[in-house]
Structure 1
Amino acid sequence: MTKLSVNINKIATLRNSRGGNVPNLLKVATDIQEFGAEGITVHPRPDERHIRYQDARVLKDVVTTEYNIEGNPIQSFMDLVLEVKPTQVTLVPDAVDAITSNAGWDTITHQSFLQEVIKEFQQNGIRTSIFIDTDVKLMEAAAKTGADRIELYTEHFASEFEKGNVNAVKPYTKAAIVAHDLGLGINAGHDLSLDNIKFFKEHIPHLAEVSIGHALIAESLYLGLENVVNMYLHRLQ
């Protein structure tokens, strides 16, 4: 079964919009795990507009499943991850002013940089994953960085699937096969939803984990958080 890691950035956005501590981020993370999710994901950014660095620290004592911290490995992010020591760090090449993640790594151009970063995280017992597009050459270069996993950037699949283009999954299927053959574990995330997750799961071999935030929280406004978490788990079986 593919694991579901719930990204709780949007819960932090809602909290921050009003100040105070409603909704309570730690309580939501605890509840999501009790509802059956196998992981919690956060993606702190330098401006701390949603998840704050301190959130990432205090969540360490709350997350009893897998803890995944995503972000661009600038020095402050690296220091945070090395302090917290989550289960997994997912490296994402975000620009400082990016609204959301919008590209995977060029693992050819940045190979030596990624090798250094990944080595430091792995020496501290942290599993590493690289956010990446489906280009096979980038996948081959990713394997040379020493990363444990890749996370397929699924925005293109999601937007095309919504238009009825089911063939948009094919590059992801091929990429997953190549990654597996190279010894990489396979994660996926970005714009996956209740509408497309079952189809995606059925066409991606060796899919270890999906990280879902925006759609899951939006769907929960209508259907309820516990119900939506279990709907995802059912589709991922």
Structure 2
Amino acid sequence: MKLSADLKALQTRIGHDFKRPELVLRAVTHSSMSGPNRDDNQRLEFLGDRVLGLVMAEALLAADRAAAEGLLAPRFNALVRKETCAEVARQIDLGAALKLGRSEMLSGGRRKEALLGDAMEAVIAAVYLDAGFDAAKAMILRLWGERIHTVEEDSRDAKTALQEWAQARGQQPPSYTETARSGPDHAPVFTIRATLADGQHAEATAGSKRAAEQAAARALLDRLSDGAS
């Protein structure tokens, strides 16, 4: 099987040349483009999620040999969650290589976080099946890079951390308000304001309400941290 130019370019970006090119084609094929003669990437996604988890568990244990499970677990979750996979997918421009049906393409599928995260996991599985665990591990460690070493000491999601900050000071949980929405219906962009009971607030913008809420909570936590220093 001869690879298309976009898949050859993807090979270069991930640093792996496939001996079985049908694997990378399947990894980038969304269910909207699958058919009797073309499998989608859902089964690969399932496998890739497990391979990623094992690599990250090993990496975190090696990076901090004294950390208790209570600290390792949230760090692990931060590194394997769909948002992080999508972030890495954008880093290698995986969206440009995706095989999408017309409706998914028109609805901005190449930029969708869940779709990108799933495809990134599928690519991991494709490398694993093509060349084994060590090859998949090497690619993951290379692409995740400094994220493994800079993941926060306590990587609970920002909304949870902000709520616990407020509760520790006798405040009500923070509120989240949509202050703006832009973009087309198929690819909206949300601006969310996180507000504490004492009036302190911060805003952030993202392609989903959940991501915008997390970003706003993180921005407010950063502001609170700066104010305390």
Same fold (TM over 0.5): no
Q: Higher strand share goes to which structure? A: 1
Q: Report the TM-score, using the length of structure 2 for normalisation.
A: 0.23
Higher helix share goes to which structure? Answer: 2
Q: Compare CA radii of gyration and give the structure with the larger one.
A: 2
